[in-house]
Amino acid sequence: MTHPLSVAVAGLGTVGGGVLKLLRDNADVVAAHAGRPIAVTAVSARDRTRDRGVSLSGLRWYEDPVALASDPAVDVVVELIGGADGPARELVQAALAAGKPVVTANKAMLAVHGAALAHEAEERHVPLAFEAAVAGGIPAIKALREGLAANRVLRIAGILNGTCNYILTQMRERGREFAEVLADAQKLGYAEADPSFDIDGVDAAHKLAILAALAFGRPVAFDAVHVEGIRNVSALDIAFAGELGYRIKLLGIARRSDSGIEARVHPCMVRASAPIARVDGVFNAVVAEGDFVGRVMLEGRGAGAGPTASAVVADLIDIARDRLTPVWGVGSAELSNAPSVPMSEHIGAYYLRLMVVDRPGVIADVTAVLRDLGISLESMLQRGRAPGEAVPVVLVTHETQEAAMREALSRIAALSAVLEAPTLIRIEPE
């Protein structure tokens, strides 16, 4: 019988428990695809007494997760601790230094330290696999690194955070405000007690940085990603979006141009008829555009024990079969040095909502600012009259440069008739 692949798992939370359960429940399926059994033989977690719904009997237990890397009976280390630094990074570095393959679901660590870790893996000729780090069970990493390897990828976009997608879906379907829906999401377990990483766009930015590195064959560059979250999206904006034929989604978008690589995460208006606009609830989606394949879209659950464990075990199967692919799809010597394009150079159309005092001359003052900055309007919405009171006004622009739009926002906010900070949402073409 072929020698089983011996696996150590660090972190036995939702995903870690899911990995153990999947490997046991689907042992025959996994062995058939891997060419040999895959078995967890060692584990590490903070709480040894916690009931994880799966037996840990017979497994070697380590209080110090980094010690897993030096266990001579371990073939592969699976890191499911999380966090860009601390024990997670120390464990991965120790495992690679020991010449052991690593499987991780840690998008923060890869986004921040991925370049250095990839270099270490390449030097040691061992796999560093991370299918589970982006979009849960959706095989987005394999699609970019392998399935689309013959293409020059032009653009990648995605709904990369299920918490934000759930909140925006509920706001649209129920007409409720952000804070109310967030509170409900926390009660249901879709949002953390501290949801900042999700709702401020950081989680999605980590994932986009990884996807962009794969798509464009460039070292991962998290610091170059423009990041905005969904805190300022209101039920009023979602209603206006519907009236204009759009839906609001938090998207991660990376695009290759003659100037370099543009990478951004922010709320977007997308046509209601676009496939990605119909991805609702906690689901994720990734869209890639290649020069020969055209547009490809993958959709599925982006988190949870089952989907994420599925991705972890897919990587273990590759390792069992001795498949070794460069971390970013190409070797270090072939990586691009394309520059990052600043957000100020972005060109696109914009949705702008103002709350203004309903009095003569207000719209003329606003449009004069836009005219002076060379920004042309496609349409305008104003509902009802309330002389002397606050009313919403919505402006939709033709394509213009981000820097001009930012200057316009600053000047419009300073007008005496404008009662609160203007709301800006970028309109993304299909």
Residues identified as active-site: 207
Q: Report the first-to-last Cα separation within the chain, whole angstroms.
A: 53
d(CA 350, CA 279): 22
Instruction: Please report, as a single letter, which amino acid is at residue 376.
Output: S
CB-based burial of residue 136 (10 Å sphere; 0-12 exposed, 13-18 middle, 19+ buried)? buried
Are the beta carbons of 212 and 263 closer than 8 angstroms?
A: yes
- Beta strands per DSSP E along 184-258: 226-227, 246-257
d(CA 53, CA 55): 7
Measuring CA to CA, which residue among 430, 117, 427, 396 is closest to residue 275? 430
DSSP H helices, 58-146, are 87-97, 107-124, 140-142
What tokens were used for 237?
Answer: 């904006």
Helices then strands, counting H and E runs in the chain, come out as: 13, 17
